[in-house]
């Protein structure tokens, strides 16, 4: 049974990845599961300088989902490379460094610095966080700007460059094309969907940032549709994510067009979710006599 996949040059032993921001810097989970079994770990979004993020009132549970407005709090690229990466190098898995900048230049610099660090195997460029200001959000919603910022990072990056798309757009296909035109080797689809919740007793928003990003099973049908549209629009491999809780869900994403899947919110519900999902994928392949997971990608019969 072949489970290995190639995500735009990033070779994984299996298609299960942990999603950025839901698995810390990876090492936090070593006592919950065997990290060597995971296809890849995507670390929390990194920026040039450490970022404090938003004030408290950062998460809220919603029907079959949750809102977050962490605000991209992170220890910064330097501290990550110095403190976390050496720990991660001990594991036989691949490390994807998720990163963002506030300007095109910052994106390009971050891509360069992370490419130079030993033990990082691919870069995931976050242009799609719903908790940032309007100006920033244009990176992920205006195709022309998307192409420009991706091209800038592409120039400095020496590792496979994955671009993470925002679902908060009229046409995910247009955004996917823009990212690929800019030089993306692969796409991550989707980031969280903008949402909010209000405490009716106080009339205040549940999140200090007012709006936040919706994740979890609630968004799965939306994510699946976007992966399907992206698969039709571009040729690069897709990492599918958004509400995957079980091996069956992962298979659904693969059939819609994903070459690999990322597990996000499910890690909070069950710290060992990624390994159970991998097991579910294998069970399905055995039951359906599928020898190579790659043959299932985009295998939807319409």
Partner 1 sequence: MKYWKYYLNRLFSADIIRNEHLVGRYFILEVTPNVAICETQVGQFFMLRPGESIDPLLLRPFSLLTFKSPSGQYPNGTLIFLIDAVGKGTNILKRLAVGTRFSIVGPLGRGFPPVADDEILFVVAGGIGIASVFGLTSVYLNTPFFFGVRTANMMSDLQAIGFNYWGENTFTASDDGSIGSKGSVLELLEKQVSEYKRDCGGKVKIYACGPHAMYKAMVKMNLDADIYVSLETPMACGVGTCLGCAVETTSGLQMVCKDGPVFNLKDIIWGG
Catalytic residue positions?
A: 129
Give the integer Cα–Cα distance in Å for 267 and 272.
7
Task: Tell me which residues in 4-63 interact with ligand FMN (CB under 6 A).
Answer: 19-22, 44-45
102 binding partner (options partner 1, a copy of itself, ligand FMN, none; Cβ < 5 to 8 Å by kind): none
Phi (first) and psi of residue 267, to 5 degrees:
-60, -30
Within residues 98-157, the interface with a copy of itself by CB under 8 A covers 141
Residue 224's binding partner among ligand FMN, partner 1, a copy of itself, none (Cβ under 5 to 8 angstroms by kind) is a copy of itself
The H or E element spanning position 108 is helix 104-116
By CB under 8 A, is residue 203 in contact with a copy of itself?
yes
Residues forming the site for partner 1 (CB under 8 A): 21-24, 28-29, 31-34, 44, 52-53, 55-56, 58-61, 63-66, 68, 70, 73, 216-217, 245, 265, 267-272, 275-276
Q: Which pairing describes strands 238-240 and 186-189: parallel, antiparallel, or unpaired?
A: parallel
Q: Which two tokens mark 91?
A: 């594991």
Residue that is written with structure tokens 């908790």 in the block: 131
Using only C-alpha atoms, what is the Rg of the chain? 18
Number of H helices, E strands in the chain: 10, 16
Residues recorded for the chain:
302
In DSSP terms, which residues pair with 5 in a beta bridge?
A: 12
In the list a copy of itself, ligand FMN, partner 1, none, the entry touching 170 (Cβ below 5 to 8 angstroms by class) is a copy of itself
Site string (15-54) toward a copy of itself, x via CB under 8 A: ----------------------------------------
Of 59, 78, 79, 196, the residue at the interface with a copy of itself (CB under 8 A) is 196
Tokens matching residue 4: 């290995």
CB 242 to ligand FMN: min, Å = 5
Q: Please, what is the minimum distance in Å from the beta carbon of residue 200 to partner 1?
A: 14
* Phi/psi at 242 (5° precision): 130, 90
Note if the bond before 190 is cis, omega within 30 degrees. Answer: yes
297 near ligand FMN (CB under 6 A): no
Angle between helical axes of 134-141 and 143-156 (0-180°, round to 10): 80
Let me know: does 55 contact 77? Beta carbons within 8 Å. Answer: no
Q: Which of 224, 234, 266, 293 binds a copy of itself (CB under 8 A)?
A: 224
The residue range among 25-33, 64-72, 232-240, 282-290 that interacts with ligand FMN, by the rule CB under 6 A, is 64-72
Q: How far apart are CA 37 and CA 40, in angstroms?
A: 9
Tally the C-alpha atoms within 13 A of residue 95's C-alpha that lie toward its C-beta: 26
Distance, in Å, from the CA atom of 193 to the CA atom of 166, rounded to the nearest integer, reads 8
Residue among 5, 243, 267, 275 that touches a copy of itself (CB under 8 A): 243
**Interface contacts to ligand FMN, rule CB under 6 A:** 19-22, 44-45, 68, 70, 72, 98, 126, 164, 191-192, 215-216, 219, 241-244, 263-266
**Interface contacts to a copy of itself, rule CB under 8 A:** 62-65, 67, 141, 168-170, 193-198, 200, 202-205, 210-211, 214, 216-222, 224-225, 228, 243, 248, 251-252, 255-256, 284, 299-302
């Amino acid at each position: 049974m072949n489970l290995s996949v190639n995500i735009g040059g990033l070779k994984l032993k299996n298609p299960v990845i942990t999603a950025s921001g839901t698995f810390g810097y990876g090492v936090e989970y070593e006592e919950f599961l065997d990290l060597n079994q995971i296809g890849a770990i995507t670390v929390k979004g990194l920026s040039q300088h450490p970022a404090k993020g938003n004030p408290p009132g950062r998460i809220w549970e919603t029907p079959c989902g949750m809102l977050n407005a962490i605000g991209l709090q992170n220890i910064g690229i330097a501290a990550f490379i110095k403190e976390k990466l050496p720990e991660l190098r001990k594991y036989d898995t691949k490390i994807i460094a998720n990163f963002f900048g506030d300007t095109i230049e910052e994106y390009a610099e971050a891509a360069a610095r992370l490419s130079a660090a030993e033990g990082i195997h691919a870069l995931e460029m976050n242009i799609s966080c719903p908790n940032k200001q309007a100006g920033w959000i244009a990176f992920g919603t205006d195709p022309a700007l998307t192409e420009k910022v991706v091209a800038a990072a592409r120039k400095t990056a020496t590792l496979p460059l994955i671009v993470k798309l925002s679902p908060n757009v009229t046409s995910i296909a247009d955004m996917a094309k823009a990212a690929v035109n800019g030089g993306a080797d692969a796409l991550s689809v989707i980031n969280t969907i903008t949402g909010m919740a209000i405490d009716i007793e106080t009339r205040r928003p549940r999140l200090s940032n007012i709006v936040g990003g919706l994740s979890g099973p609630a968004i799965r049908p939306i994510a699946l549709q976007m992966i399907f549209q992206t698969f039709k629009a571009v040729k690069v491999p897709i990492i599918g994510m958004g509400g995957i809780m079980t091996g069956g869900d992962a298979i659904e994403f693969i059939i819609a067009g994903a070459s690999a899947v990322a597990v996000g919110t499910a890690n909070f519900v069950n710290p060992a979710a990624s390994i159970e999902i991998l097991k579910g994928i294998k069970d399905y392949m055995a039951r359906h006599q599928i020898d190579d997971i790659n043959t299932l990608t985009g295998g939807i019969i319409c």
